[in-house]
Amino acid sequence: MGPKEALIFLTLSVIVISAKRLPKGDLDFETHWVFSSCSLGDTSWQKTFIRSALKSWVTSIQPVRRLKQDSKIIKDARIVGRFHVNDTDYQPLVVGHDDYAWLKYGPEDQGNGWIVGPMKVRESKVTGRGLGFIFPDFHTAIVGDYENDKLFNGHNRNVKAYRCRQGMLELQYEPLKKLSPVFKYEAANETFLTSKPLLMDPYDKRNVYVAPSGIPNAGQGLFAKRTIPAQTLIVTYAGLHVYDEEDLYSEDMTPDEVEDAHKNLMSYDDDYALNIPPDMSSLHQYCSSLGHKVQHKFKNPNADFVFFKHPRFGYVRALGSTRTIQRHEEIFVDYYYSIKGDRCPNWYRTLYHQVFGTKGRPKGNVESDFSRLNFN
Ligand SMILES: *[C@@H]1O[C@H](CO)[C@@H](O)[C@H](O)[C@H]1NC(C)=O
Ligand SMILES: *[C@@H]1O[C@H](CO)[C@@H](O)[C@H](O)[C@H]1NC(C)=O
């Protein structure tokens, strides 16, 4: 696609975005027609502006009621596909010809990727061959097979080209490289996280690196490998499941050992938390996900904890950028530890009082949603 065509493509997307959206309450979560930036007709394979074209496509997707042919917006446009909005799972699914579909994969609006290709979706679970999981940068992808939402035979093959066909945006991926490692879904539990602890996530690998933190004596920190835009998923935070925090400790532990034991504990939901225990905290032992390497900062952190559904790890957490992060900038989050409990680390309590004085953190921040750990 030449720059001119790209411009037309993007302009069309903008027009579509500004088209009147249906009020949310009006969707009855059944079949809707779709109008998107691919509704104007088929294109040949395009290899330029991949990220912006994919992003434009997903933001341009509009569920519409059957519009009259004389409607201004769809004059000469073809409307192809069905749009399912699953209110329970927040999984928008766009299905076009031959079951070719785009499924938003993940909880609610946070940090999602998309699964793309010919698929069947039953009770929100995906089955299909050669499906691409497109990470939120609209470039990095794991292409593999899915059975009931479980990935197998996955390989890192990034998006190489795209085209519009019968109203759907179709994707082509880089060819399979020799000796390319296999990604597959494995269910984590209290004792098991992955059979390949040294296989790095392709998206983490692209976005971040680990190096000594700028905070003195704090150990390793996480740094941006490239410019990361605001409101973007940065890195995955996976871990062993911890159902009872007390399991992490034993009577004979020193305070330092206690601190080490929960250093990477990350809340997930009411049932369990995620953890990278001390015997996995060296990158030589585990580097499949790197979110646990992030350091804490009270003032102006550039990232926050979000929820993510990863084809390899399933439901996990992740870091999302709260503003643009420059290349080589260190990534920080506010851990939001509760300072009331006994297990709050001393360094955190000291820093807390240095930053907020005796009055403490100003009220009004929602603590529970983003807290890494409440120490309740
Ligand atoms: C939506 O979610 C419900 C409950 O999980 C499920 O029964 C239903 O099949 C889903 N619909 C679609 C279109 O995936
Ligand atoms: C955890 O998962 C591993 C690997 O699938 C399995 O061998 C082990 O039995 C599981 N443990 C529990 C407690 O479910």
Domain assignment of residue 218, yes or no: yes
Domain assignment of residue 48, yes or no: yes
Give the C-alpha separation, 22 to 269, whole Å.
Answer: 33
Domain assignment of residue 370, yes or no: no
Domain assignment of residue 57, yes or no: yes
Find the 370 Cα to ligand 1 centroid distance in Å: 28
Taking CA atoms only, the protein residue closest to ligand 1 atom 7 is 123
User: Amino acid letter at 132?
Assistant: G
- Considering the chain, what is the average pLDDT of its residues? 83
Atom from ligand 1 closest to the CA of residue 88: 2
Specify the pairing of strand 295-296 against strand 330-333: parallel
Whether 331 and 234 share a structural domain: yes
Closest CA to 327 of 252, 196, 223, 180: 223
Whether 37 and 151 share a structural domain: yes
Instruction: Give the whole-number percent of the chain exceeding pLDDT 70.
Output: 78
Q: Is the pLDDT of residue 336 over 50?
A: yes
pLDDT at 9: 53
Whether 128 and 209 share a structural domain: no
Domain assignment of residue 252, yes or no: yes
Atom from ligand 1 closest to the CA of residue 89: 2
With a 6 Å cutoff on the Cβ, whether 121 touches ligand 1 is: yes
Whether 156 and 216 share a structural domain: no
Whether 89 and 11 share a structural domain: yes
Chain segment 252-300, per-residue pLDDT in tens: 998 888 888 888 989 898 899 999 999 999 999 999 999 999 999 998 9
The whole domain housing 311 covers 202-335
The two three-digit tokens of residue 103, written as one number = 């499924």
Atom from ligand 1 closest to the CA of residue 123: 9
Whether 136 and 250 share a structural domain: no
For the chain, the farthest-separated pair of C-alpha atoms sits apart, in whole angstroms, at: 78
Domain assignment of residue 179, yes or no: no
This prediction has a pTM of 0.84
Q: Is the pLDDT of residue 151 over 50?
A: yes
pLDDT at 345: 86
Whether 212 and 111 share a structural domain: no
CB-based contacts of 349, cutoff 8 Å, min separation 6: 339
Whether 28 and 158 share a structural domain: yes
Please report, for the chain, how many H helices and E strands are present, in that order: 6, 22
Give 147-160 as a 3 state SS string: ECCEEEEEEECCEE
With a 6 Å cutoff on the Cβ, whether 123 touches ligand 1 is: yes
Q: Strand 314-321: give its sheet, edge to edge.
A: 233-237, 314-321, 303-310
The two three-digit tokens of residue 187, written as one number = 């269910």
Whether 21 and 153 share a structural domain: yes
Find the 124 Cα to ligand 1 centroid distance in Å: 5
137, 320 in Cβ contact below 8 A?
no
Report the CATH number at residue 311: 2.170.270.10
What does DSSP assign to residue 175? P
Find the 189 Cα to ligand 2 centroid distance in Å: 6
Domain assignment of residue 207, yes or no: yes
pLDDT at 38: 86
What does DSSP assign to residue 49? S
Q: What is the dihedral of CA 85, 88, 91, 92, to 10 degrees?
A: 10
Whether 155 and 264 share a structural domain: no
Whether 12 and 143 share a structural domain: yes
From 189, 196, 241, the mutation candidate for ligand 2 (largest count of ligand atoms within 8 A of CB) is 189
Find the 156 Cα to ligand 1 centroid distance in Å: 29
Taking CA atoms only, the protein residue closest to ligand 2 atom 3 is 192
Whether 310 and 207 share a structural domain: yes
Structural domain count of the chain? 2
Domain assignment of residue 365, yes or no: no
- Which of 55-69, 89-103, 349-363 is the most confident on average? 349-363
